[in-house]
Amino acid sequence: MNILVTGASRGIGKSIGEYFIKEGYNVFASARNEELLKTFQNYCVCDLNKNPEKLGNYIEENRIDILVNNAGVYIYSSIENINSMQIEQVLKTNLEVPLYLISRAVPYMKKKRWGRIINIGSISGVMGEAGASLYSASKAGLIGATKALALELAEYGITVNTINPGWVETDLGNDSVEESGFSKEEIVECIPQKRFITPDEIAGMVKYLISDEAKGVTGQSINLCAGLSVGY
């Protein structure tokens, strides 16, 4: 079984890729940094903002059964300070590129009449996040696309789901803490379970969603956030 993970050079993507290597899958990884990708046997160095077609071709050539759209960018900024370049970058990376990659993966999945598409969203796309309206909008769009694609592809045995992490114990997560203006301790205090999610928990959810036990789960937006989406 061939699985491709975007944004696999570090953080959530790297953990998912390494997790599925241990599970015996043929893992294909993609990111911009070749040095960080060399831990994987199969990889495609690609800047998705500049040349998503390169990865689209790679997907077709390697007959990807499972696509994990993990690559994303986060910008923390008040709305009046957002510029057009930031809008283009965030919407393209977080929403347009995942849709494009799905379009390249689906023909093979349809032919096989089996496929799994997992989009890594964010709790910010479910609840909204003050100071991150652009990021929230892009992830909310991904959730909407997931629902529509699940309907469109259901008859072909293809499922489409989104996992929405809350605060995750990664470099990006810790960088986001610094940008937020709050301390990590203050943020943890607002999380019902009083902890950050680990990347391996996300990989475990991916494992479930691609399994036969989850073949009836499609079009869903699953919040993996230590209770953050429920309230405080």
* pLDDT at 182 (0 to 100): 72
* pLDDT at 175 (0 to 100): 65
**Is 166 within 8 Å of 126 (Cβ atoms)?**
no
Q: Which of 154-163, 176-185, 210-219 has the lowest mean pLDDT?
A: 176-185
Instruction: Give strand pairing partners of 6.
Output: 30
- The arithmetic mean of pLDDT across residues 172-178, rounded, is 65
At residue 214, does pLDDT exceed 70? yes
* pLDDT at 136 (0 to 100): 97
| Active site (annotated) includes residue 135 | yes
Asked if the structure places residue 229 within a domain, the reply is no
Instruction: Give strand pairing partners of 29.
Output: 5, 43
Q: Which of 135, 156, 208, 232 is catalytic?
A: 135
- The arithmetic mean of pLDDT across residues 141-167, rounded, is 98
| Mean pLDDT (the chain, rounded) | 94
* pLDDT at 165 (0 to 100): 96
CA distance 118 to 230: 23
At residue 172, does pLDDT exceed 80? no
* pLDDT at 183 (0 to 100): 81
CA distance 10 to 97: 19
At residue 220, does pLDDT exceed 80? yes
pLDDT-derived band of residue 128, with 50, 70 and 90 as boundaries? confident
Angle at 57 between CA 151 and CA 209, to 5 degrees: 40
At residue 5, does pLDDT exceed 90? yes
Report pLDDT digits (tens) over 66-100. 999 999 999 989 999 999 999 999 999 999 999 99
CA distance 146 to 31: 22
At residue 171, does pLDDT exceed 80? no
* pLDDT at 99 (0 to 100): 98
At residue 176, does pLDDT exceed 80? no
What CATH number does the domain containing 45 carry?
3.40.50.720
Asked if the structure places residue 231 within a domain, the reply is no
CA distance 58 to 54: 6
Domain range enclosing 214: 2-224
Q: What's the number of domains the chain is made of?
A: 1
Asked if the structure places residue 91 within a domain, the reply is yes
pLDDT-derived band of residue 232, with 50, 70 and 90 as boundaries? low
pLDDT-derived band of residue 173, with 50, 70 and 90 as boundaries? low
* Element holding 222 (H helix, E strand): strand 221-224
CA distance 106 to 74: 27
- The arithmetic mean of pLDDT across residues 146-160, rounded, is 98
Closest Cα to residue 168, out of 16, 65, 38? 16
* pLDDT at 177 (0 to 100): 67
* pLDDT at 190 (0 to 100): 87
Asked if the structure places residue 230 within a domain, the reply is no
Structure token digits, residue 196 = 């950050």
